[in-house]
Amino acid sequence: TRAEITYFGAGPALLPTDVLETASQALLNYNDTGLGIAEHSHRSELATNIINEAKADLASYLDFSANDYEVIFLQGGGTGEFAASVYNLVGAWVARQHAAVLNELGASADEAAVVAALRERVEKHLKVDYIVTGGWSLKAYQEALRLLGPEYVNLAADARTINDGKFGKIPDQSTWKLSEDAAMVYYCDNETVDGVEFPEFPAVLAPRADGSGPIVVADMSSNILSRRVPVSNYSLLFFGAQKNLGSTGVTVAVLKKSLLPPTITQPSPALLRKLGLPVPPIVLQYEIVAKNNSLYNTLSIFDVYIAGQVLKRLLRTYPNKVDGQQAVSEKKASIIYAALEAHPEVYRVVPDKSVRSRMNICFRVTKNGNVDEAEKAFLKEATSQGLTGLKGHRSVGGIRASNYNSIPLEGAEKLAKFIEAFAKV
């Protein structure tokens, strides 16, 4: 039964049972309307209320200002955002250069001259920077290469180069080869597959005293809502819902409003074509989605509803909001790591201690030297005790315990006890 299992899957992840119970009612009959939440129009007032409440609750929980940041709900998952971040941030860069060229040549300059000047700037200076620290930032980098071509994409750091070709460390920030005025610097705050998490916001990307600084974009799919985020340091952060927020099917972007009209308007398709740059699909254009309060096209209100219920539950549970959850997340992770570290002859934590993730705890079972056999035995025995979803990602193998918000403290304790007990048999 559900009550007997603690599920450590990496995503989709465990959802709080009471949220699912409420949602199952809502699926049949939402607020006594006789219709389920998945049947109501996405343009109904009740759908808009669900969207607006989820936006407000997210801002309240993470403690950012809705005056400065727009929250949008998208589809296409984290993978869709690999593309969307490129299109939207390159578009914003072009818009800024366009304004600078008009300023330089005068508003009456002929169009061909403007395009020529802009083309030169694009060819000489357009760069998107990637900090690659694991499988997901690697995929995002590869998507940028696919969309823009290698001339515009800068691999500013690659963690594999300092760790025998494998992920598991974060290169020292002093070695990052950041571009001058990059359209964005992209990184993944928590690498779900490799168990690597940035311990804190990378200082080298922090805004300068005058407010200027790099345009920072982060993928927070697998650690959002688990610790305090200095939102004002980011131009964009995004996350799929299916780990810490809710059910699969909705993706959230938190976007600095100064990247939207009236401050910045995305370049027209005609101009992008003249510059040899890709034209974004309309569903990936933040400007369009934001203008329509996430309802440019049909959005799964059911998924937004679940996310909203999870946020309300977090706000009810933790009077001090994300800080409360952060303390619990740290405690759970430290209990599990301590159990692993107590038996170095049986377990090896994969990532370096300085960057190991609180959310995805990746380790190998090296007992008796036969890793394959030991891991099979570990998984089998764990499953028989109701500890499931522990198999590592197919690309790296090993064991991965995903310690998302929905894992209760008792669940982490149960796993730690099992780790101890398995080491002793």
- Closer Cβ to ligand PMP, 158 or 219, answer by number: 219
- Closer Cβ to ligand PMP, 91 or 240, answer by number: 240
Residue 28 CB, nearest approach to ligand PMP (Å): 27
CA distance 221 to 190: 8
- Closer Cβ to ligand PMP, 11 or 168, answer by number: 11
Residues between 356 and 385 with contacts to ligand PMP, criterion CB under 6 A: none
Residue 189 CB, nearest approach to ligand PMP (Å): 8
- Closer Cβ to ligand PMP, 192 or 405, answer by number: 192
Residues between 72 and 91 with contacts to ligand PMP, criterion CB under 6 A: 77-79
Among 168, 171, 214, 240, binds ligand PMP (CB under 6 A): 240
- Closer Cβ to ligand PMP, 222 or 235, answer by number: 222
CA distance 130 to 133: 9
- Closer Cβ to ligand PMP, 11 or 389, answer by number: 11
- Closer Cβ to ligand PMP, 9 or 213, answer by number: 9
- Closer Cβ to ligand PMP, 199 or 269, answer by number: 199
At residue 288, what are phi and psi to the nearest 5 degrees?
-70, -45
Residues between 315 and 354 with contacts to ligand PMP, criterion CB under 6 A: none
Closest residue to ligand PMP, judged by C-beta, is 77
Residue 329 CB, nearest approach to ligand PMP (Å): 16
CA distance 244 to 252: 12
CA distance 82 to 126: 18
Residues between 100 and 159 with contacts to ligand PMP, criterion CB under 6 A: 136
CA–CA–CA angle 229, 232, 236 (5° rounding) = 85
Residue 249 CB, nearest approach to ligand PMP (Å): 9
Beta bridge partners of 158: 132
11 binds ligand PMP per the rule CB under 6 A: yes
Residue 199 CB, nearest approach to ligand PMP (Å): 16
> What does the per-residue mask of binding to ligand PMP show for 187-226, with x meaning CB under 6 A?
-x---x--------------------------x-xx----
Residue 411 CB, nearest approach to ligand PMP (Å): 20
At residue 24, what are phi and psi to the nearest 5 degrees?
-70, -35
Residue 223 CB, nearest approach to ligand PMP (Å): 8
Q: Please tell me the count of residues contacting ligand PMP according to CB under 6 A.
A: 11
Q: Which two tokens stand for residue 387?
A: 């500890």
Rg (alpha carbons) of the chain, rounded to whole number: 23
Residue 242 CB, nearest approach to ligand PMP (Å): 6
- Closer Cβ to ligand PMP, 266 or 402, answer by number: 402
Residue 318 CB, nearest approach to ligand PMP (Å): 24
- Closer Cβ to ligand PMP, 77 or 389, answer by number: 77
- Closer Cβ to ligand PMP, 196 or 416, answer by number: 196
Residue 238 CB, nearest approach to ligand PMP (Å): 9
Parallel/antiparallel/unpaired status of strands 236-240 and 196-197: unpaired
Residue 155 CB, nearest approach to ligand PMP (Å): 18
CA distance 398 to 412: 19
Site residues, ligand PMP (CB under 6 A): 11, 77-79, 136, 188, 192, 219, 221-222, 240
